[in-house]
Amino acid sequence: MDLVPHGPFTRDDALALITCRESPLAVSKAVIRKGEYDVFTHAPNDMRDIFTFSNTHFKEREFLVYEDERWTFGEVHRKAVALSKSLIDLGVQSGDRVAISMRNYPEYCLAIEAILAVGAVAVTLNSWWMPEEIEYGLIDSGARFALVDHERWDRFVPSSSLLELGVAIARPEGELPEDVLSMADLMEPTADEDFPAIEIDTDGDALIMYTSGSTDHPKGVVLTHRSIITSLLNFYCIGTLGMLTGENEELRQEILKWLKAGPASMDDPLAVRLPREQLLVNVPFFHVSGLQTMLFLSYRSGRKLVLMHKWNAKKALELIERESLTRIDGVPTMIGEILHSPDLNRHDLSSLVSIGGGGAARPPEHVKLLQERLPHVMPGVGYGMTETNAAGATIGGDEYRARPTSVGRPSAPMVVVEIRDEDGNLLGPNQEGEICMKSALNMRCYWNKPEETSEALRDGWLYSGDLGHLDEEGFLCITGRAKDIIIRGGENITCGEIENVLHEHSAVNEAAVHGAPDDRLGEIVCAAIYLRTGCHATEEEIQDHVGSRLAAFKVPSHVHFTDDRLPRIASGKFDKLALKQQAIKRLEQIGSEN
């Protein structure tokens, strides 16, 4: 490998060096499910290898901080090994689905490790779901066992009989319910540091993550060991690319030494020779942005994660100062609350190096605010989906400041992005169409949904349902959505799911759900309702009705009752564009009156 000893690389030269045949991150071709894709030649086989790497190289390093608790990588690993063996003793077999529903406790990390290490499939249920939603998730996934926290146990009770192997509770309060196990007992550590020697297929299923989309129920996105690991190494490449093209010569030389050592470097903990990242975890682990980009990436980078019990901007600022955090990521709502917090200048934030984002479109004014209020911090943003293991496009630093409406270039070297029209034809620069992505990072399928799978995955391309364009330099801009969803504070919400619940109300004749812009949350949920003749309902009654069936974030913030039938377009569907425009005018009027 011929290395340039000094000075920043160009982006193209750096990518060529990172992915060349002699590199630990070499890229080659492989056939996956009858299609040919770029893959990392020397990638670990499965996630168990990733977890073991962290124990081998970072055993004594502090890994998780939660409230007053501090856990090292070694402590987490030993408990995860114990839990993995308990799962086998309970009857969990390779390919079985095991559900997780809890807040971001350290036990969540242990659960994920243990489940994946025995070849089972972790089903990451949305921890805000209500009983009916949980029942749907358990039936759809066919989960045989579940690990839940005390708060969610009450919601699991109505459907707990669906779990053939039972339930274990993390952090129970008081006595355990009858026939329910203690997770603490299942993960009592021993001196054993080896996961069970079970053969795991690199293309075998690892995760089912539920996401809302254009269908009436959340869809289970199936992610394989290979797709997750490819995503993690792709993010690793992005960081490596930044150091090769950046101005820090010392970091560049460390990267060059690591690359020069070739495939053997895949077992070399480069992170111990680089500045250590210390990250605030303020996003739920049931999201890819929490699980993949925060938790899973940490097993190779050896970084410290500070887990928040619940999002609170004041508490976040306290933790940044107390733990000398170097990075925070989050949906625009969270970053906006930090930037507008009256406590912003009351804390020492000098340790903070970067602020990233994703999950929803970030208002361009946030970039300006970041520059004004935290000038020493590098801003960044990314675009990705559950279906793509969180990868898609990234941008940061000066490029982002110059293009605040962009989400960056496609995530090199793995992700290819094209813009296509309704007929699947490729569009040129600055032409708006559907964003399509192809890579080995893409999901295997939607669980139990072959029609939705074939609609989303076509010839290896993932049709995102998002609208956008690529400019002449290859930077991606998101302009809208083709799917009937709302993104509220980073949560994808299916309009049809709420509409179904609304139509079950005895007074409702017609109901249409749509989004409306909101400064804090990005979008809020709005409902337009035409009542049955002679019936009456109030906004509060409608909200209580939805709240009794669905998670709180799906409850409409604004309900409008109309005396006429709801407007429709030529196809017979509700005219949601007209309804949205009407709602925006009403909300603006309400705001001006207040």
Q: What is the 3-state secondary structure (H, E, C) of 172-206?
A: CCCCCCCCCEEHHHHCCCCCCCCCCCCCCCCCCEE
> Comparing C-alpha atoms, which of 515, 40, 48 is closest to residue 234?
40
pLDDT at 533 (0 to 100): 85
CA distances from 382 to 11, 306, 312, 358, 487 (A): 18, 21, 23, 5, 15
At 484 the pLDDT is 79
Q: Which domain holds residue 92?
A: 67-200
CA distance 42 to 130: 43
Helices 47-58 and 106-117: angle between axes, nearest 10 degrees: 120
Rounded Cα gap, residues 97 and 148, in angstroms = 14
Q: Which has more confidence, 212 or 247? A: 247
Q: Is the dihedral of CA 322, 326, 332, 335 positive or negative?
A: positive
For 203, list phi and psi in degrees, rounded to 5. Answer: -100, 15
Q: What is the DSSP string of 312-368?
A: -HHHHHHHHHHHT--EEEE-HHHHHHHHT-TTGGGS--TT--EEEE-SSPPPHHHHH
Counting residues of the chain whose pLDDT is more than 70, the rounded percentage is 96
531 assigned to some structural domain:
yes
Residue-wise burial string across 174-197, b where 16 or more C-beta atoms lie within 10 A, e elsewhere: eeeeeebbebeebbebeeeeebee
570 pLDDT tier (thresholds 50, 70, 90): low
- Tell me the pLDDT tens digit for each residue of 380-426: 999 999 999 999 999 999 999 999 889 999 999 999 999 999 899 99
DSSP reduced 3-state for 513: strand
What's the rounded Cα separation, in Å, for the pair 50 and 52? 5
Mean of the pLDDT values across residues 551-567?
93
Helices (H), 157-287: 183-186, 225-245, 249-260
Tokens of 457: 């995955």
Number of neighbouring beta carbons within 10 Å of residue 406: 22
pLDDT-above-90 percentage for the chain: 81
Residues 488 and 222: their CA atoms lie apart, in Å, by 24
Q: Within the chain, how many helices (H) and strands (E) appear?
A: 19, 29
Number of domains in the chain: 2
Q: Distance between CA 349 and CA 370 in Å, rounded?
A: 13
Q: What is the mean pLDDT of residues 513-531?
A: 92
pLDDT tens, 248-277?
999 999 999 999 999 999 999 999 999 999
DSSP letters of 425-437?
A: -B--TT--EEEEE
Is the confidence at residue 569, as pLDDT, over 80?
no
DSSP three-state, residue 492: strand
The answer on pLDDT for 520 being more than 90 is no
pLDDT digits (tens, 9 = 90+) for 321-364: 999 999 999 887 788 889 989 999 999 999 999 999 876 666 77
Residue-wise burial string across 360-377, b where 16 or more C-beta atoms lie within 10 A, e elsewhere? bbbbeebbebbeeebeeb
Residue 495: predicted pLDDT: 87
Choice among 387-391, 482-486, 537-541 with the minimum mean pLDDT: 482-486
**Residue 265 included in any domain:** no
What are residue 209's phi and psi, to 5 degrees? -115, 125
Measured CA to CA in angstroms, residue 344 lies from 340, 348, 366, 374, 465 at distances of 7, 9, 15, 9, 37
The per-residue pLDDT for 216 is 66
Asked if the structure places residue 168 within a domain, the reply is yes
Alpha carbons 223 and 121: distance in angstroms, whole number: 9
Residue showing tokens 């055993």 = 59
Residue 592 has pLDDT above 80, yes or no: no
Backbone angles phi, psi at 311, to 5 degrees: -65, 130
**CATH number of the domain to which 513 belongs:** 3.30.300.30
Q: Choose the final residue of a domain: 159, 181, 200.
A: 200
| β-sheet bridge partners, residue 527 | 513, 559
Per DSSP, the residues of 133-159 read HHHHHHHHHT-SEEEEEHHHHHHHGGG
For residue 366, name the pLDDT band (cuts at 50, 70, 90): confident
Q: Which of 275, 293, 269, 225 is nearest to 59 (CA)?
A: 269
Among 30-34, 122-126, 440-444, 566-570, where is mean pLDDT lowest? 566-570
DSSP state of 421: -
> Does 396 map to a domain?
no
18 lies in a domain? no
End-to-end CA distance of the chain, in Å? 66
Answer with the one of 179, 200, 221 that is the final residue of a domain: 200
Tell which residue, 473, 420, 399, 76, has the closest CA to residue 241: 399
- Whichever domain contains 110, its CATH number is 3.40.50.980
Give a yes or no: residue 103 inside a domain: yes
Q: Tell me, yes or no, whether 98 lies in a domain.
A: yes
Q: How many CB atoms lie within 10 A of CB 125?
A: 28
Question: Beta strand 304-307 with 476-481: parallel, antiparallel or unpaired?
Answer: unpaired
> For residue range 103-144, what is the model confidence (pLDDT) as tens digits?
999 999 999 999 999 999 999 999 999 999 999 999 999 999
Q: What pLDDT sits at residue 4? A: 52
Which amino acid, residue 27?
V
The residues that bridge with 587 in the sheet, in sequence order, are none
Distance CA 102, CA 150 (A): 8
* Least-confidence region, from 250-254, 457-461, 481-485: 481-485
Q: What amino acid is encoded at 8 in this protein?
A: P
Residue 302: inside a domain: no
Listed residues 159, 182, 200: the one ending a domain: 200
Q: Are strands 278-281 and 327-330 parallel, antiparallel or unpaired?
A: parallel
The number of residues in the chain equals 594
Give residue 443's pLDDT band: very low, low, confident or very high (50, 70, 90). Answer: very high
Range in 196-210, 517-531, 566-580 the model is least confident about: 566-580
Virtual torsion, Cα 98, 104, 105, 111, nearest 10 deg = 20
Could you read off the pLDDT of 36-78 as tens digits, one per residue?
999 999 999 999 999 999 999 999 999 999 999 999 999 999 9
